[in-house]
Amino acid sequence: MNSIINPVRHGLIMAVMALLSGALWAGYMATQHEALHSTFEAQEARTQAHSQLQMDQHAHSAGTSAGHHDAPVQTHNAGTHTAGGQHSHSGSLAKDSMQRLLRGHIHFMGLGVLTAALLLITAFTSLKNCWKRVLGWTFGIGALAYPPAWILMGFRTAEMGPAGAEASVLWLFGPAVGLLLASMITLLFVMLLEGTKLNQKKLFSWAFD
């Protein structure tokens, strides 16, 4: 058994690290929930004040009459907007922030379990060990990189707005999602080849034992 999982051991370690990170993050959120929410509410208030100031300045520079100037201000107060005019998903940027922090925990736990399971499947395939090691890295790194993107996005949502926060972490989201999707598609392809015995063809001798 030890020799079977050895090629993917590093990936399994990263999967366990993801699970541990998810548990620790849940503990942090539970103990700091009120402080985090208060911080996000303060950031949201500053964002709304800045947005309203921009609208007032724009209306003044455009020579808008007082009657027309009141309408956009009332529309702004009726919903939650960022400085860029973005809308909150839940009606409160502070709530959006907390939800995204929670999703970081959920994805840590979910991807930790998923990665461990898929790597155990990988270990029992007839892939050459070198390719099993590659999948260990791609699965493991993807599982560790994707959840922190949600957490980072959560901390930026109250100030940058939902869409702005999303755009600011695409550099992390993109590679993480790419690694996970590529790994799962590769494993599916491997299982299909083994299921149809095509892996025994000379054409695939570079990939399979």
pLDDT digits (tens, 9 = 90+) for 76-98: 444 444 444 455 555 789 999 99
- Average pLDDT in the chain: 87
Higher pLDDT: 75 or 106? It is 106
Structure-derived torsion over alpha carbons of residues 149, 152, 158, 160, reported in degrees to the nearest 10: -70
The answer to whether 144 and 136 have CB atoms below 8 angstroms apart is: no
Decide if pLDDT at 156 tops 80: yes
Within 8 A by CB and 6+ apart from 82, the residues are 47, 51, 93, 160, 161, 162, 164
The pLDDT value recorded for residue 55 is 67
* The CATH number, out of the four listed (1.10.760, 1.10.3470, 1.20.140, 1.20.120), of the domain defined by the range 2-33+90-204: 1.20.120
For residue 48, pLDDT beyond 90: no
For the chain, the domains span: 2-33+90-204
